[in-house]
Amino acid sequence: MKPTFKESERLAIREITRRLNESNTAKQFGFLFREVGPGRVVVGMRVSKRHLQVHGVVHGGILAALADTAGGMAVYLRLPPGSRVATVEMKINYLEAVARGEVVAEAEIVRLGRNLAVVDCDLFDHTRRIVAKALMTFAIISRGRKQKGRPD
């Protein structure tokens, strides 16, 4: 069954798609949306030489960036237009090395509060073997809310 979206969610999906397409990180690493649903985002990347570290497997920092991107986008989908998110904490366990194929990050919101969101993210290789598990906390910066240290 395909998820149904409200008009505000459709606008958010368009916006995060635009943001992903304009993101230097996403462009450099080749991140692409695979699935989007309420509170859930799947982002993938095809493994290439640019992703590999000296031992011929995907660098852990790239897997972390993939998880962070999917998690942030999942939160962003649930926020009012003009809101922003920023990662404040991330814990990732690397479970298996990945040398080829595709990696997908499946991020799902665990808890969405007024100021913080917690997201769980599983990363899988092309055989659906879980290769990493991340838990992230994001700050929610609402439209119109002044940030400390920022001028008006």
Number of domains in the chain: 1
Residue 85's pLDDT is: 94
For the purposes of burial, counting CB atoms within 10 Å of the CB of 4, is it exposed (0-12), middle (13-18) or buried (19 or more)?
exposed
Q: Give yes or no for a contact between 89 and 136, defined as CB atoms under 8 angstroms apart.
A: yes
- Establish if 146 belongs to a structural domain: no
pLDDT in tens, 32-68: 888 888 789 999 999 999 999 999 999 999 999 999 9
Taking a C-beta distance cutoff of 8 angstroms, is the pair 75, 112 a contact?
A: yes
Examine residue 149 and state whether it is found in any structural domain, yes or no: no
What CATH number does the domain containing 11 carry?
Answer: 3.10.129.10
In a domain, 72, yes or no: yes
Domain span at 36 = 7-141
Residues of the chain where predicted confidence (pLDDT) is lower than 70: 1-6, 8-9, 12, 143-152
pLDDT at 14: 78
Would you say residue 86 lies in a domain?
yes
pLDDT given at position 152: 39
What is the reported pTM?
0.85
